[in-house]
């Protein structure tokens, strides 16, 4: 007991002596993620297998010139190590012909009609290099009118499309499965208005999240969401996936902060729901249908979002815990003792820490004196610097005295804070570099969450490295299985076990990444058949020909 107290006092001393903040900067600009194409030169294309077309033929087909032929190579694809699902191309969809290209050239101009094989290869491939489509055409509309004309035409011709923002999605939703036309929103990237009093930002869907963060920073505001992919992802993509990210514990989900949307439906009609009001109870609030619908119901073109003011005092602690129960107790205490200033509560296990230290350049362990089982990153954001600091220090002291924290460090300046965040945000990239990744994004009761990681470790033994991290403050586990290469035997150990386990514990098989292609057929693990049926009816109502992001979100049998 005495020893324990002495150790706690020593750690407390270190923490309290590191609290001199040299900078009050808000810490959301900590890391720039380059364009998704440069982010991860993953070599793991082996996760993709194709039933009817050999890979060399598939790749060669990128060079095929649409203007000369209308041959389609891909009719039937198997995502064996990715989704254990066989997907059939919907025969009701047309294929692009010469007249289509002439039409798109006419309404958009040639520079927004992309057929360049290299650009298409990038746009056909997801961030993980796990899902690859074979689209021969990407359109880049510049405004709502152009997008509306595209969809009107595609609908009448039954040409399937995939909406694409920054292409940082992690469930295969943002790339074509076959030859769907890619509609990329990157040219729709203007801020339309910002109201300094209400904090309401109105912008186009293609604005990159990090650009919005910078724009608001200058006005004294922040975005209510932040995620590691901010340098590439777009606000339209964020809303379409209902992205959670690192600050949800404080600012809530996009269902709360998005005030309005402009959306183009499959038939080209423009639905103006771009309100800027906090309160509007005039009937059904239909914008919610599009938040998290992953491009399956309409394409978001404009967004109105409530942004919180930027507060002057930000503190970040990087802590070590011996066991998972301590992480839980720490969260319980943080919610009570830090209350309204708590702005992030993230955790990672030692496997995640090792991956980051091993695979990312320039990363340093802030707590090098020992190897710990768990690490927790806590951020506070408030308006009273001395009070906030005192509150955090009192909380940490209490946590140490109660044996919840074994070691810890408080960021003393912006650069230290960035380096703490870099560890947490760098995990997906480190996993990519380590080899093949089986990625699961689960909502679970916090007390049960880590049992799944341990059970998975027991199941897989030495065959793979099982890694757990995530947004503990939101009950969101990122369970990742890292292996040298994709292997059906490993997949068979993971699925359906992971989904059954989650369902048995009344969790969700997608906390924040969405269903995409990866989990469209798994939806019943989290939704009742009546609910899925209703979703399919809504889809049929809004997109009767099923041209918007086919094969994703809803089981194909219900909508094709």
Residue 138 binding partner per list ligand MLT, ligand FAD, none, with a CB distance cut-off of 5 to 8 Å that depends on partner kind: none
CA 503, CA 50: separation in Å to the nearest integer? 30
| Least distance between ligand FAD and beta carbon 328 (Å) | 21
Other CB atoms within 10 A of residue 387 CB: 12
Residue 400 binding partner per list ligand MLT, ligand FAD, none, with a CB distance cut-off of 5 to 8 Å that depends on partner kind: none
Cα angle value 93/292/474 (rounded, 5°): 150
Residue 174 binding partner per list ligand FAD, ligand MLT, none, with a CB distance cut-off of 5 to 8 Å that depends on partner kind: ligand FAD
Torsion angle, alpha carbons of 383, 384, 388, 390, to 10: 180
| Least distance between ligand MLT and beta carbon 441 (Å) | 6
Residue 241 binding partner per list ligand FAD, ligand MLT, none, with a CB distance cut-off of 5 to 8 Å that depends on partner kind: ligand FAD
Q: Which of 174, 189 has the CB closer to ligand FAD? A: 174
Q: Which of 77, 478 has the CB closer to ligand MLT? A: 478
Q: Which residues bind ligand MLT (CB under 6 A)?
A: 228, 427-428, 441, 478
Q: Which residues bind ligand FAD (CB under 6 A)?
A: 127, 162-170, 173-174, 185, 205, 227-229, 233-234, 236-238, 240-241, 243-246, 294-295, 299-300, 428, 512-513, 516, 549
| Least distance between ligand FAD and beta carbon 62 (Å) | 20
Residue 478 binding partner per list ligand FAD, ligand MLT, none, with a CB distance cut-off of 5 to 8 Å that depends on partner kind: ligand MLT
| Least distance between ligand MLT and beta carbon 47 (Å) | 15
- Cis bond before residue 496 (omega within 30° of 0): yes
List the beta bridge partners of residue 430.
none
CA 224, CA 469: separation in Å to the nearest integer? 22
Q: Which of 41, 54 has the CB closer to ligand FAD? A: 41
What's the first-to-final CA gap in the chain, in angstroms? 66
The Cα diameter of the chain in Å comes to 82
List the beta bridge partners of residue 183.
139, 163
User: Strand locations in 101-241, DSSP E?
Assistant: 113-114, 138-139, 161-164, 181-184, 191-195, 200-204
Handedness of CA 340, 343, 349, 350 (dihedral sign): negative
| Least distance between ligand MLT and beta carbon 346 (Å) | 8
Torsion angle, alpha carbons of 418, 242, 350, 506, to 10: 150
Q: Which of 205, 481 has the CB closer to ligand FAD? A: 205
| Least distance between ligand MLT and beta carbon 70 (Å) | 39
CA 121, CA 436: separation in Å to the nearest integer? 20
| Least distance between ligand MLT and beta carbon 228 (Å) | 5
| Least distance between ligand FAD and beta carbon 550 (Å) | 11
Q: Which of 229, 377 has the CB closer to ligand FAD? A: 229
Residue 260 binding partner per list ligand MLT, ligand FAD, none, with a CB distance cut-off of 5 to 8 Å that depends on partner kind: none
Containing 310, the helix (H) or strand (E) segment is none
Q: Which of 243, 321 has the CB closer to ligand FAD? A: 243
């Amino acid at each position: 007991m005495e020893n324990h107290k002495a150790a706690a006092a020593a750690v407390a001393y270190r923490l309290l002596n590191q609290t001199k903040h040299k900078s009050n900067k808000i810490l959301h600009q900590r890391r720039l993620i380059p364009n998704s194409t440069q982010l991860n030169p993953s070599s793991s294309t082996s996760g993709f297998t194709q039933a009817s077309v050999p890979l060399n033929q598939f790749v060669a087909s990128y060079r095929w010139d649409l203007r000369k032929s209308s041959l389609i190579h891909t009719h039937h694809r198997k995502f064996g190590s990715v989704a254990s699902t066989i997907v059939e191309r919907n025969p009701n969809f047309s294929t692009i012909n010469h007249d289509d290209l002439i039409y798109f050239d006419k309404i958009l101009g040639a520079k927004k009609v992309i057929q360049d094989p290299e650009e298409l290869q990038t746009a056909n491939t997801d961030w993980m290099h796990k899902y690859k489509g074979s689209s021969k055409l990407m359109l880049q509309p510049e405004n709502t009118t152009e997008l509306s004309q595209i969809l009107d035409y595609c609908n009448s011709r039954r040409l399937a499309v995939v909406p694409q923002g920054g292409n940082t999605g992690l469930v295969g939703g943002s790339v074509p499965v076959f030859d769907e036309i890619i509609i990329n929103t990157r040219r729709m990237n203007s801020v339309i208005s910002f109201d300094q009093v209400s904090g309401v930002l109105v912008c186009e869907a293609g604005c990159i999240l990090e650009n919005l963060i910078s724009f608001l920073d200058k006005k004294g505001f922040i975005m209510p969401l932040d995620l590691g992919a901010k340098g590439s992802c777009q606000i339209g993509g964020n809303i379409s996936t209902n992205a959670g990210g690192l600050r949800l514990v404080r600012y809530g989900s996009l269902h709360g902060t998005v005030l309005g949307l402009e959306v183009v439906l499959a038939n080209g009609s423009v639905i103006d729901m771009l309100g800027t009001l906090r309160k509007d109870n005039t009937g059904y609030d239909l914008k919610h249908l599009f938040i998290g619908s992953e491009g399956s119901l309409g394409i978001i073109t404009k967004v109105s979002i409530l942004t919180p003011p930027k507060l002057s005092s930000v503190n970040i602690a990087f802590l070590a815990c011996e066991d998972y129960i301590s992480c839980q107790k720490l969260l319980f205490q943080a919610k009570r003792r830090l209350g309204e200033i708590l702005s992030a509560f993230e955790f990672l296990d030692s496997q995640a820490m090792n991956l980051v230290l091993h695979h990312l350049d320039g990363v340093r362990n802030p707590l090098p004196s020992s190897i710990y089982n768990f690490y927790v990153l806590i951020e506070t954001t408030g308006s009273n610097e001395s009070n906030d600091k005192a509150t955090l220090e009192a909380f940490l002291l209490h946590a140490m005295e109660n044996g919840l924290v074994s070691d810890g460090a408080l960021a003393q300046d912006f650069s230290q804070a960035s380096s703490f965040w870099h560890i947490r945000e760098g995990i997906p990239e480190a996993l990519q570099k380590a080899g093949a990744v089986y990625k699961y994004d689960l909502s679970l009761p916090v007390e049960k969450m880590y049992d799944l990681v341990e059970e998975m470790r027991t199941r897989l033994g030495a065959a793979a490295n099982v890694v757990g991290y995530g947004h503990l403050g939101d009950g969101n586990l990122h369970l990742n299985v890292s292996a040298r290469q994709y292997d059906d035997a490993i997949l068979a150990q993971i699925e359906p076990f992971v989904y059954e386990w989650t369902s048995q514990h009344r969790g969700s098989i997608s906390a924040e990444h969405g269903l995409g292609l990866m989990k469209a057929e798994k939806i019943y693990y989290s939704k009742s058949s009546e609910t899925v049926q209703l979703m399919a009816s809504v889809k049929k109502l809004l997109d009767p020909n099923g041209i918007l992001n086919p094969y994703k979100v809803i089981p194909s049998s219900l909508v094709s």
